[in-house]
Amino acid sequence: MSILKPRTGAEDDRDAKRNHFRPSYVLSIWSATNQSNPRAGCARGSRRAPGMARATRPVADGGAAGSRRAARRRVFDTGQARSAVALLVLAWLPIVAWHEHVAFRATSASCAWPELEGTTSASPDARVAVIADPQVTDFTSYRSFAPKGSWTLAAIERVSDAYQHRAFRLAVLPKRPERVLFLGDLLDGGWLTADDETFDATARRFERIFRWPGRDETRSSDSPSSETDEHPKTHMSVHGNHDVGYASRAESFPEIRKRHESRFGVSNYVERVGGVDVVGVNAMALDGDPRSEAAKETWAFVDALSVQQNVSSRNRPPRVLVTHLPLPKASYAPGSCGESRFGPVIQPRTRRTRRGVEYQDYLSDGSARRLLRATRPSLVLAGHDHDRCVASHEISTAVFRARGDGDGDGDATGRDGDATDHAGVTVSVTEITLGTFSWLMGNPKPSFALMTLRGEVPSAAAEGTAKYVDTAICELPEHLAGVWSYAYLGGFSAFVLLVWPSLRVAAAFMRSGDVEAFARRLGIDPKANRRVASGARPNLDSVAAWTRVVAAALWRHCGPFFVALALVLGGIAGGTLWDLSRP
CB 123: neighbour CB atoms within 10 A? Answer: 13
pLDDT band for position 275 (cuts 50, 70, 90): confident
Bridge partners of 391, per DSSP, are 431
How many degrees, rounded to 5, is the angle at CA 466 between CA 465 and CA 470? 115
- CB-based contact 77:556 (threshold 8 Å): yes
Q: How many residues does the chain have?
A: 583
Which DSSP category does 1 fall into? Answer: -
Asked which of 103-117, 239-253, 287-301, 413-427 is least confident by mean pLDDT, the reply is 413-427
- The pairing of strands 389-396 and 426-433 is antiparallel
Do 170 and 112 fall into the same domain? Answer: no
- CB-based contact 286:238 (threshold 8 Å): no
Cα 448 from chain centroid (whole Å): 15
Do 501 and 580 fall into the same domain? Answer: yes
Residue 460 lies inside a defined structural domain of this protein: no
Strands (E), 137-281: 179-182, 234-237, 269-273, 276-280
Residue 375 lies inside a defined structural domain of this protein: yes
Cα 225 to Cα 124: distance, rounded to the nearest angstrom: 12
Asked which of 194-203, 264-273, 331-340, 452-461 is least confident by mean pLDDT, the reply is 452-461
Do 143 and 84 fall into the same domain? Answer: no
Residue 46 lies inside a defined structural domain of this protein: no
Do 367 and 269 fall into the same domain? Answer: yes
Query: Which positions ≥6 away from 183 have C-beta within 8 Å?
Result: 130, 131, 132, 133, 237, 238, 240, 322, 323, 324, 381, 382, 383, 384, 434
Cα 165 to Cα 336: distance, rounded to the nearest angstrom: 33
Residue 28 lies inside a defined structural domain of this protein: no
Bridge partners of 394, per DSSP, are 428
Query: Which positions ≥6 away from 128 have C-beta within 8 Å?
Result: 177, 178, 179, 180, 181, 273, 278, 450, 451, 452, 453
Bridge partners of 320, per DSSP, are 278, 379
Residue 224 lies inside a defined structural domain of this protein: no
Sheet holding 389-396: strands in order across? Answer: 269-273, 276-280, 319-323, 379-382, 426-433, 389-396
CB 47: neighbour CB atoms within 10 A? Answer: 8
Whether the pLDDT of residue 293 is over 60: the answer is yes
CB 215: neighbour CB atoms within 10 A? Answer: 9
Which comes out higher in pLDDT, residue 69 or 267?
A: 267
Domain boundary, last residue among 400, 420, 453: 453
Cα 337 from chain centroid (whole Å): 28
Q: Which of 99, 101, 94, 95 is nearest to 170 (CA)?
A: 101
Residue 459 lies inside a defined structural domain of this protein: no
Cα 356 to Cα 399: distance, rounded to the nearest angstrom: 32
Do 335 and 408 fall into the same domain? Answer: yes
Q: What is the mean pLDDT of the chain?
A: 78
- CB-based contact 278:234 (threshold 8 Å): no
**Cα diameter, the chain:** 158
pTM given for the model:
0.76
Do 92 and 168 fall into the same domain? Answer: no
According to the model, what pLDDT value does residue 363 have? Answer: 95
Residue 342 lies inside a defined structural domain of this protein: yes
Highest mean pLDDT among 208-212, 354-358, 541-545: 208-212
According to the model, what pLDDT value does residue 549 have? Answer: 81
As a whole number, mean pLDDT of residues 228-238 equals 63
Asked which of 86-100, 209-223, 306-320, 466-480 is least confident by mean pLDDT, the reply is 209-223
Do 132 and 91 fall into the same domain? Answer: no
What is the per-residue DSSP string for 117-169?
-S----SPPEEEEEEB---B--TTT-TTTS-TT-HHHHHHHHHHHHHHHHIII
- CB-based contact 162:413 (threshold 8 Å): no
- CB-based contact 461:471 (threshold 8 Å): no
Do 277 and 407 fall into the same domain? Answer: yes
According to the model, what pLDDT value does residue 569 have? Answer: 93
Could you give the C-alpha distances from 66 to 59, 61, 62, 251, 523, in angstroms and in order? 10, 9, 6, 84, 14
Do 402 and 521 fall into the same domain? Answer: no
Cα 19 to Cα 558: distance, rounded to the nearest angstrom: 61
Do 431 and 356 fall into the same domain? Answer: yes
Residue-wise pLDDT for 8-38, tens only, equals: 555 555 555 554 444 444 444 444 444 444 4
As a whole number, mean pLDDT of residues 73-79 equals 77
- The pairing of strands 379-382 and 469-475 is unpaired
Reduce the DSSP state of residue 136 to 3 states and report it. Answer: strand
Q: Which helix (H) or strand (E) segment is 348 a member of?
A: none
- The pairing of strands 400-402 and 126-131 is unpaired
Do 407 and 502 fall into the same domain? Answer: no
Do 445 and 569 fall into the same domain? Answer: no
Residue 60 lies inside a defined structural domain of this protein: no
Cα 26 to Cα 34: distance, rounded to the nearest angstrom: 12
- CB-based contact 298:281 (threshold 8 Å): yes
Domain boundary, last residue among 418, 453, 488: 453
According to the model, what pLDDT value does residue 511 have? Answer: 81
Residue-wise pLDDT for 133-166, tens only, equals: 999 999 999 988 889 889 999 999 999 999 999 9
Asked which of 32-46, 295-309, 317-331 is least confident by mean pLDDT, the reply is 32-46
The rounded percent of the chain whose pLDDT value lies above 90 is: 48
CATH number at residue 312: 3.60.21.10
Strands (E), 48-117: none
Number of structural domains (the chain) is 2
- The domain of 298 spans 117-214+232-453
Q: Which of 523, 517, 514 is nearest to 552 (CA)?
A: 523
- CB-based contact 247:357 (threshold 8 Å): yes
Whether the pLDDT of residue 62 is over 80: the answer is no
